[in-house]
Amino acid sequence: MDKYIIEGQRPLTGEVYISGSKNAALAIIPAALLIEGKCRIEDVPDIGDVRILDEILTYLGAKVSYTDDRNTIEIDSSCLNNWAAPYEMAKKLRASYYLLGGLLGRFGRAEVSFPGGCDFGSRPIDQHIKGLEALGVKIEIEHGIIKAEAKKLVGCKIYLDVVSVGATINLMLAAVRAEGTTIIENAAKEPHIVDVANFLNAMGANVKGAGTDIIRVMGVSTLRGGATHAIIPDQIEAGTFMIAAAATDGDIVVRNIIPKHMEPLTAKLLEMNIEVRQNGDWIRVISHGGIQKANIKTLPYPGYPTDLHPPAAVLLCRAAGTSMITETIYDNRFHYVDELQRMGAGIRVDGRVAVIEGASELTGAPIKAHDLRAGAALVIAGLIARGTTEVHNIGYIDRGYENLDVKLRSLGASITRVSDDC
Ligand code: EPU
């Protein structure tokens, strides 16, 4: 993997353009398997996880082509001839579970390895399996492979015991071509769930209620090809830049975002004494110093997103007073803490709570990303630290951020990507 070398203590200034949502793209691309035809997806982020999905789709027989900037993708699934995703590819990706929904909806069968992805402790998929079984799918798990088969998918009522983004979307995908109506209760409400429903409806599906906690999928016998869909802006990438601007005493305009999606973060930034202005499709974040402490609890949308927990922890290192972040979504999202401690952060973990003693000056150090959002948080730590920081393992960051270093340089940061052999 490459590494980033960052010279810190330069305020970010200027404008940055946000890419399409990673987590929407990772669901919409497998959803394209449902149609025996073509579709065109715009504003796809050019990130590692999308490239892996592209390889899997190609292996399954789909034709995948890109525009030169790799942000528009055309998928022709008419020649799809395989319902078994190769273990070596699928295991690299959390979102490989969407291949289950997509392939079941298309062929009534699917074989996919247990999903990989970032390590935040236990990440079960029992709600996906419970919902699929309720739809009439017979599931067997053998040698790390989930083998799923349904003679017929039949609509039903499914109550999710935990609010799960992945299970909500997967069940939508599997239910689109089922016989009758499927009702998903206690559904997740994240913006990308609405985006996936809009894509499915553009192909002729009948999904209602996405964005609320009850989603109704009225099954249709066929879907039509030819749809074009533009993916929504990435809420987490936008939040990462907003936090980076605040942490560096910067002043940036974040363009191509939906301010409504940013409300849980915006509310916290205002509480920290950071100025936030917004209009239409942009938000300006201005820090005048004097950052105040805040307590954050991660929750499903519209609560504060777990994926913006590690970046917020870095920002709170600069705040006056003691702050707390309570992580309620994952058992263990705290791998970044040891790395921040190496930089002099006053931060400790007690169960699911990070306690952050603010106003400590971070100093540059060699540090290692252990997952995607922790990696982004460490980059922000490098941006505020005195001296030079080396962030290793940045392959994790490449999985979910398009050109993070290029975008940060355009805002005045000193960040260079080099081979880790140097
Ligand atoms: N859960 C279960 N059983 C299930 C599914 C989930 O107990 O069957 C639990 C999980 O263990 C977790 C909680 O429910 O405690 C929420 O998990 P969810 O299913 O919502 O997460 P996910 O679908 O695996 C997606 C994003 C994550 C993001 C979460 C929460 C994708 C590919 N991943 O994961 O994004 O953290 O929703 O918003 O969409 C990231 O982008 O860096 C990332 C990790």
Total number of domains in the chain? 2
The pLDDT of residue 144: 84
Residue keyed to tokens 């603010």: 358
Say if ligand 1 is within 6 A of residue 162 CB: yes
Q: What is the pTM of this model?
A: 0.97
Composition of the chain by helix, strand, coil, percent to 5: 35, 30, 40
Most informative mutation of 21, 23, 234, 298 for ligand 1 (most atoms within 8 A of CB):
23
Same domain as 185, residue 63: yes
The pLDDT of residue 360: 81
137 Cα: distance to centroid of ligand 1 (angstroms): 22
Q: Whose CA is nearest to atom 28 of ligand 1?
A: 307
Dihedral pair phi/psi, residue 95, rounded to 5°: -70, 0
166 Cα: distance to centroid of ligand 1 (angstroms): 6
Cα-only R_g, the chain: 21
Say if ligand 1 is within 6 A of residue 94 CB: yes
Same domain as 264, residue 154: no
394 Cα: distance to centroid of ligand 1 (angstroms): 22
Active site members: 118
Indicate which CATH number applies to the domain containing 74. Answer: 3.65.10.10
Say if ligand 1 is within 6 A of residue 121 CB: no
Same domain as 259, residue 212: no
Final residue before a domain boundary, out of 230, 253, 271:
230
The pLDDT of residue 90: 85
Say if ligand 1 is within 6 A of residue 118 CB: yes
Say if ligand 1 is within 6 A of residue 203 CB: no
Q: How far is CA 258 from the centre of its chain?
A: 16
The pLDDT of residue 366: 97
Domain of 358?
A: 2-18+233-419
SS3 for 69? coil
Structure tokens at 204: 């002729």
Using an 8 Å Cβ cutoff, are 112 and 102 in contact?
A: no
8 Cα: distance to centroid of ligand 1 (angstroms): 33
Final residue before a domain boundary, out of 230, 252, 269:
230
Final residue before a domain boundary, out of 230, 262, 293:
230
DSSP assignment letter at 50: H
Task: Please give the Cα distance from 195 to 257 (Å, whole number).
Answer: 14
Say if ligand 1 is within 6 A of residue 23 CB: yes
Q: How many helices (H) and strands (E) does the chain have?
A: 14, 23
Same domain as 154, residue 85: yes
Same domain as 246, residue 173: no
Same domain as 293, residue 172: no
What are the strands, taking DSSP E only, across 200-329? 206-208, 214-218, 227-230, 251-255, 275-279, 282-286, 295-297, 322-326
Point out the residues of the chain with pLDDT beneath 50.
none
Same domain as 83, residue 8: no
Same domain as 241, residue 306: yes
Most informative mutation of 162, 189, 265 for ligand 1 (most atoms within 8 A of CB):
162
The pLDDT of residue 114: 82
Q: Give the HSE-up count for residue 411: Cα atoms under 13 Å, Cβ half-sphere.
A: 32
